[in-house]
Structure 1
Amino acid sequence: MVKTLELKSTVNERPFFNEEHYQYQKALRKFLEKEAEPYFEQWEKDGMIPRDFWKKVGENGFLAQWVEEEYGGMGVDFGFSVIMAEEFEKVGSGLIGFSTHSDVVGPYLDSFATEKQKEKYLSKFSSGEMISAIAISEPGAGSDLANIKTTAIKEDDHYILNGSKTFITNGVQADVYVLACKTNPHAEPVHKGISILIVDRDTPGVEVTRKLDKVGMRSSDTAELYFDNARIPVENLLGEEGKGFTYLMDKLQQERLLTAITALAAAEDMLQTTLSYVQERKAFGRPISKFQNTQFQLVEIATKVKIARTFLDDLIVKHIEEKNIVTEVSMAKYWITEMAREVSNTCMQLHGGYGYMEEYKIARRFRDIPVYSIFAGTNEIMKNIIAKNIGL
């Protein structure tokens, strides 16, 4: 029997787990084994997750679980979102759009939307009836949020929206975009001119111009968007005009924490996959796990993964307690995503030539992982934040 290092957490090991979390994790894992894993390779080839799968996820109670019951959710804590992010990641990074919808876009509506907006949009988040996307990045502005060029100029009871967005996860299938734009292009300082609008996909002048062909995460649809004098009702303003930059800063902590969570889940999965492989694969008449070089490399990975898990679970608890942990989250996002990238390279090498073959999961991991260092703010931006916050 193949022995593998047991890294899967139990109800007693995770500091934010209780019995409800454990039961939810088991139910979600069983659901994904039946409804996602058998089809995931085809979704990768198709470059899209079928919409009926979104509805299945919602119907089974696995989407935006934290939404209050009055809007169709279960009103549970962030720990359930962590489980969702981890379990979907174990199937494949291409399923990242579900966490984006549930735990990146949704919280903007929860915190800043009016009751009318919540009833119209948030009530459909948990059911899977509505798919959402966050539209911030532009061809000329990614991590530099204050320099976005898309404008929404108020004209009577509408904003006239013009500009473009790119690298938008869920952008092709989304029914609604939570979009950052300049409502006052002449504001000083410039970030005070940023607002957030709720933009319906079917609005005239809103166009998905291109489905992007990515190196990895191929089943996650990613789009370029274009806005040509799209008329957005003023009632679709999210929160207050000119407060958009503040809202973005408020929500980026959770987005970056989720990036670290999914990157670590991927690293744990790669380690388990490789541990199994090296114990089964033989060279020179014995399993390659018996070679000291293999052992040392996997020991190093296991140690880094364990340290990351301990640090990250502590941050999850603090985030649930609503503590300000911007510096620590920036550290986790930068270090864990870099570590996961290193793990993907080492684990592919340990698979030998087979690691370069599409039929092996490690090949997909190798191309999926690098983007974690880029989105939700590049790792260089994370280092800038850390440097500032430690007094440099």
Structure 2
Amino acid sequence: MTALTDEELFLVTTVRQFVDREVKPVVAELERANEYPEALIEHMKRIGIYGLAIPEEYGGASVSMPCYVHVTEELARGWMSLAGAMGGHTVVAKLLLAFGTEEQKRRYLPRMATGEIRATMALTEPSGGSDLQAMTTVARRDGDRYVVNGSKTWISNARRSGLIALLCKTDPAAVPRHTGMSILLVEHGPGLTVSRDLPKLGYKGVESCELSFQDYRIGLDSVLGGEEGRGFAQMMKGLETGRIQVAARALGVARAALEDSLEYAKGRESFGVPIWKHQAVGSQLADMATKLAAARQLTLAAADRFDAGQRCDMEAGMAKLFASEAAMEIALSAIRIHGGHGYSTEFSVERYFRDAPLMIVGEGTNEIQRNVIAAQLVERGVEPIQRVRPAG
């Protein structure tokens, strides 16, 4: 695994201290109120978290993908919603760097690096789910503009993001269908409505919204990279980042559940001894720690492969699949260990249990991940899974 630089280690330590000092004391109150964590977001801006995917030439402080995994894990350890508040932003930054025109990079990246502009992506539609090729949102040319009509759903940070990477059809008649898709760099304006915030089991504080486009007009230069028909391939590459990020969020939730369980098991006694000494509890702790360690290794392996410039949709899918399922299992084990207290909102473990399912269904459901992994196994075989070669 790639070792972090001294600067990266300092960053991870800074984020860990921020979580312990600023997040944990207030998270229960913010979560119960379903309140947007404005003060915590401002602190994240000052730390530089919104610029972690952006090079210095555009005002950021780019870090390795393994470092990004550790930072995301630390944030999610405090509150998964904080990691969600910067997840889509990072994907859009990576999309701009990989595919954007120089004008698009100069226009957005410096303000994204400071958090002045926060970004999100809009893929999912009310009737389409994970079937992106079935989308119905269309951008039709009208002179020197596109006119966009359609709707998107489950868009995180939709109200507060100044930039939306919108995947839509610019050629609905294209065959194959994916060749008619483009990403438009969309900003709020007439014709774009954030219709409602969706009620959620967990992932509180950060909004997930429905978007409606009704004759929304935008310039032809809004196409990511300046060329139509490349949006599907671009977004699939972006989702490699997104799935590694979701896996890292799962690591944070799982780690928080394990840490709380270990502390509880050391302090709680039954039959005259700490409950961790009872085999039923000790075995659960051992299994929780083992699952977490395995999930972290899978996630860091995918991150290394990403930084090596290699295709990692299978590896990112594996990491997201395993880490999210592990987080759900570990969160349930935490409730078992806490007993009745685990069912109480006075303890954080019930929040972990509500937050964990998002990683199972978000950024492509785990059923989709299994399809991706199976297809790649057929194409690539088993042996190359762990091989990482330098870029170029």
Same fold (TM over 0.5): yes
Counterpart mapping for 1:1-392 below 5 A: 15-201=2-188, 203-239=189-225, 240-391=227-378
TM-score (norm 1): 0.91
Percent of counterpart pairs with the same letter?
35
- Conserved? CA contact 1:192–1:245, under 8 Å: yes
Q: What SS is found at the alignment partner of 2:51?
A: coil
After superposition, the Cα gap between the structure-2 partners of 1:31 and 1:264, relative to the gap in structure 1 and judged at 3 Å, is closer
Deviation at 1:295, TM superposition (A): 1.1
Deviation at 1:374, TM superposition (A): 0.8
Q: Which has the higher helix share?
A: 2
The alignment's C-alpha RMSD in Å is 1.8
| Whole-angstrom CA distance in 2 between matches of 1:270 and 1:184 | 47
| Whole-angstrom CA distance in 2 between matches of 1:154 and 1:238 | 16
Bigger mean CA offset, 64-73 vs 139-148:
64-73
Deviation at 1:52, TM superposition (A): 4.8
| Whole-angstrom CA distance in 1 between matches of 2:64 and 2:333 | 36
| Whole-angstrom CA distance in 2 between matches of 1:265 and 1:52 | 21
After superposition, the Cα gap between the structure-2 partners of 1:382 and 1:351, relative to the gap in structure 1 and judged at 3 Å, is same
Aligned partner letter, 1:36: V
Structure 1 stretches lacking a partner, 5+ long: 1-13
After superposition, the Cα gap between the structure-2 partners of 1:48 and 1:199, relative to the gap in structure 1 and judged at 3 Å, is farther
Aligned partner letter, 1:149: T
Bigger mean CA offset, 122-131 vs 49-58:
49-58
Structure 1 stretches of at least 4 aligned residues deviating more than 6 Å after TM superposition: none
Number of residue pairs matched by the alignment: 378
| Whole-angstrom CA distance in 2 between matches of 1:329 and 1:97 | 17
Q: What SS is found at the alignment partner of 1:63?
A: helix
Aligned partner letter, 2:11: Y
Deviation at 1:30, TM superposition (A): 2.2
| Whole-angstrom CA distance in 1 between matches of 2:281 and 2:21 | 34
- Conserved? CA contact 2:51–2:59, under 8 Å: no
- Conserved? CA contact 1:172–1:211, under 8 Å: no
| Whole-angstrom CA distance in 2 between matches of 1:246 and 1:291 | 52
| Whole-angstrom CA distance in 2 between matches of 1:52 and 1:342 | 32
| Whole-angstrom CA distance in 2 between matches of 1:368 and 1:313 | 22
- Conserved? CA contact 2:65–2:304, under 8 Å: no
TM-score (norm 2): 0.91
Q: What SS is found at the alignment partner of 2:73?
A: helix
Structure 2 stretches lacking a partner, 5+ long: 380-392
- Conserved? CA contact 2:118–2:160, under 8 Å: yes
Deviation at 1:33, TM superposition (A): 3.3
| Whole-angstrom CA distance in 2 between matches of 1:344 and 1:155 | 52
| Whole-angstrom CA distance in 2 between matches of 1:111 and 1:351 | 46
| Whole-angstrom CA distance in 2 between matches of 1:46 and 1:63 | 25
Aligned partner letter, 2:207: D
Which digits, 9 at most, give the CA deviation of each residue in 1:79-104, with x for residues without a partner?
33223211111111111333324422
- Conserved? CA contact 1:16–1:317, under 8 Å: no
After superposition, the Cα gap between the structure-2 partners of 1:19 and 1:29, relative to the gap in structure 1 and judged at 3 Å, is same
Which digits, 9 at most, give the CA deviation of each residue in 1:304-334, with x for residues without a partner?
2222223332332222112223222222211
Bigger mean CA offset, 137-146 vs 32-41:
32-41
- Conserved? CA contact 2:78–2:256, under 8 Å: no
